[in-house]
Chains A and B, each alone.
Chain A
Amino acid sequence: MTVIATESLSKRYPRVTALDRLSMDIGPGVTGLVGANGAGKSTLIKILLGLSPATEGRAAVLGLDVATSGGEIRERVGYMPEHDCLPPDVSATEFVVHMARMSGLPPAAARERTADTLRHVGLYEERYRPIGGYSTGMKQRVKLAQALVHDPQLVFLDEPTNGLDPVGRDEMLALIRRVHTDFGISVLVTSHLLGELERTCDHVVVVDGGKLLRSSSTTDFTQTTTTLAVEVTDSDEHPDGTGALRKALHGLGVDTQDDGGGLPGAGHTVLLEAAGEETYDLVRDVVADLGLGLVRMEQRRHHIAEVFRTKDAESTEDETAETAADGAQGRAASERAAAWAANTAKTATTAAAEQTGGGSDAR
């Protein structure tokens, strides 16, 4: 099933070409739309909402033609704008109820859905207070709630992490992920940060200057080769735990590398290629045999930025810096590592490994 389909979609203004023969098909799930400011992301959303006619080409949202069925599309999709859009003198509840009615929900249903949606986005008692007193993070949640209140099949989120601090960013990204996994709503999220989207999206579309640069699944280019990062404690028997692990793994014919990033703690991280499930088991056994504590074992994805670096070296430099910082925080703990940690029975390793599991659950 295709959620969004465009066919040589172009939008030209007298002096600027905002979109240039853009053709793509986007399926259900979370899709990231990446591009620098002015790459045509907002223009694309405007056309997809049926609010601005395309100069050339066609587009369909949920199987409906944007040129002729704008109203029907807008009844089924939600939109969260990039800019501030909340009046400060009303409460979140009043505002979202009003927006629900604007989407055609009867009064009782509008109130019920508002209460539900605000709870899902994480607004509780404060929803009765005027929006003017909210923090940026809370305002972003209200904006998300108004886009979800009428239970759309698809939401357009325009730069939802704008202006948020790192913690707020992570919470918003986790929320966006839940919009798809828990609510079953497809998401098109724009950002100019690749690093954010690779953690959240199933699929990433990169546009630049109104042209499609690349459209592919995130798993395609971040999970074909998996690097495993392992960190262990030292013990009396092995004062240099990391070195001992390296040696033991070498003995078993597994190549290891340093974390060459020069980041703090890099010397204590062992990187190795994970061939499959057995590599995880092997590391677990080796660490347990050595009697070391396993501090962390996580999948280190290749960053999308690396994939695009060859193509677009200059323009992605900022994003690369961003993703490197993310990587240092060890955010990319994989589900597989977490599942493995939960299943491990060996006492020495379990306690330590659960730190990893706990970390990825919180995410």
Chain B
Amino acid sequence: MPADSTQIHNIGYRHYDGPRLGRAYATRSLFSQSLRGAYGLGRSAKSKVLPMILFGVMCAPALIMVAVAVATKANDLPIDYTRYAIVLQAVISLYLAAQAPQTVSRDLRFQTVPLYFSRPIDRVDYVRAKFAALSSALFILTAAPLIVLYVGALLAKLDFADQTKGFAQGLVSVALLSVLFSGIALVISAVTPRRGFGIAAVIAVLTISYGAVSTVQAIAHEQGSSEAISWLGLFSPITLIDGLQTAFLGATSAFPGKEGPSAGAGVVYVVVVLALIAGSYAALLRRYRKAGL
């Protein structure tokens, strides 16, 4: 036996001369890591539990509805595509409350952010990757049940054109919802890095604003001022999406008395939604200007 095959060599330090893929690749890696992280993938088993349960809870009603529709040979699905996310908004809020702090607060709390910024990516890349990751995670959560509904509707041999139109409208609606909600939740989480604080703050902002708006809307409805109802919807994220899709995506409003905004007021809704998305992006950038080293 040759002597050298029995020896253990200390191969020493080896230099790396392979490719360095730069900023765009690093941003993509951060995006995929954060997206996977939002479902607990690549993290401990414990952190998979909540997102997976919520994903199940989000899809379960859709499965039941589809099963009923197929079994009873119904003419239509029991719920509109656009309405689904509005009905299950509590699940969405819970998911965001759990995952938005996970996405940004961890890096702030454990001061990992400087390690990112000492690498090729800068804060714009970082914010974009995190924003895109949480929006995509939320889109997966809200679009998956719509896909279940659509596939079920086709299996139940419902009208193809009708269903496809509804499905497409639903997808646009949840896409907007995902970006809007993620932006708001990320900003809240980024300014409350302490554990637990962010969770409570996200739930509070999403549910209290909805509670307040719908209460005042109910009062307005009692007093018969239908004009006020549609303008009040501007003041909470979920009613914003509701109003927007009522005006432009053929949805039936969940406002009291189904008093959704007209097309004119709908334009204001679109402007407010876009302004909020842009505003939360700007606020995140601002937040990370100081979070450097």
Contacts and interface: CB of A to CB of B under 8 A. Distances in A.
Interface in B15-68: 15-16, 18-23, 25-26, 29-30, 33, 42-44, 47
A103 B110 contact: no
B26 A103 contact: yes
Contacts of B6: none
A51 B111 contact: no
A101 B26 contact: yes
Contacts of B13: 116, 120, 182-184
Interface stretch (A29-37, A82-90, A204-212, A233-241): A82-90
A109 B107 CA distance: 24
Nearest to B18: A109
Contacts of A75: 20, 22, 119-120
A104 B21 contact: yes
Contact of B15 (A71, A77, A146, A151): A151
Interface string A31-59: 00000000000100110010110000000
Contacts of A51: 117-118, 292-293
B120 A71 contact: yes
Interface size class of B (residues with CB under 8 A): 35 or more
A78 to B, nearest CB: 8
Interface in A117-162: 120, 130, 146, 150-151
A102 B293 contact: no
Contacts of A101: 25-26, 29, 33
A251 B21 CA distance: 70
B76 to A, nearest CB: 47
B111 A46 contact: no
A85 B120 contact: no
A274 interface: no
A50 to B, nearest CB: 9
Contacts of B231: none
Contact of A84 (B30, B44, B110): B110
A102 B43 contact: no
Given A81-B111, A183-B13, A49 B118 contact: yes
Given A46-B292, A102-B29, 19 more contacts: A75-B120, A79-B115, A81-B118, A84-B111, A85-B110, A87-B106, A87-B110, A87-B112, A89-B47, A101-B33, A103-B20, A103-B26, A104-B25, A105-B16, A105-B21, A106-B19, A113-B16, A130-B44, A184-B13
20 contacts: A49-B293, A51-B292, A51-B293, A52-B293, A70-B122, A74-B119, A81-B111, A85-B112, A90-B43, A99-B119, A101-B25, A101-B33, A103-B119, A104-B20, A104-B25, A105-B20, A106-B18, A106-B25, A130-B44, A150-B16
Interface of B: 12-16, 18-23, 25-26, 29-30, 33, 42-44, 47, 106-107, 110-112, 114-122, 292-293
